[in-house]
Amino acid sequence: SYVLTQPPSVSVAPGQTARITCGGNNIGSKRVHWYQQKPGQAPVLVVYDDADRPSGIPERFSGSNSGNAATLNISRVEAGDEADYYCQVWDNSGDHVVFGGGTKLTVL
């Protein structure tokens, strides 16, 4: 079964850039999607297809995917960005959704 690995936590100062990684075997051959989940709220899609943003998501959120790692970048981090972030792919070998374990972003 396909496995996605995320760091449990990332900390960044306001105004800086947060980088959250998502590792997987040859993940560059898949499309990666990212969700933001604030405390007590449902997840929200913030990046899909590696690097595209849904309507209403700030340009500060961007993504990349190559080789064995995908990355979610959040530039000019704000206090309101503090949340858990999950990466997700479709495992076509088993026909199922796979989530990463999640990364807690702390804004210092």
Partner 1 sequence: QLQLQESGPGLVKPSETLSLTCTVSGGSISSRGYYWGWIRQPPGKGLEWIGSIYYSGSPYYKPSLRSRVTMSADTSKNQFSLNLTSVTAADTALYYCARLRRQWLGDYYYYYYYMDVWGTGTTVTVSS
* Residue 1 engages partner 1 in binding (rule: CB under 8 A): yes
Which part of the chain contacts partner 1 (CB under 8 A), choosing from 10-18, 57-65, 75-83, 94-102?
94-102
Least distance to partner 1, CB of residue 16, Å = 25
* Residue 89 engages partner 1 in binding (rule: CB under 8 A): yes
DSSP conformational letter for 77: -
What helix, strand, coil percent values describe the chain, rounded to 5? 5, 50, 45
The encoded tokens of residue 49 equal 């297809």
Residues 34-63 binding partner 1 (CB under 8 A) are: 35, 37, 42-45, 48-49, 54
The rounded radius of gyration (Å) of the Cα atoms in the chain is 13
* Residue 64 engages partner 1 in binding (rule: CB under 8 A): no
The encoded tokens of residue 92 equal 């076509």
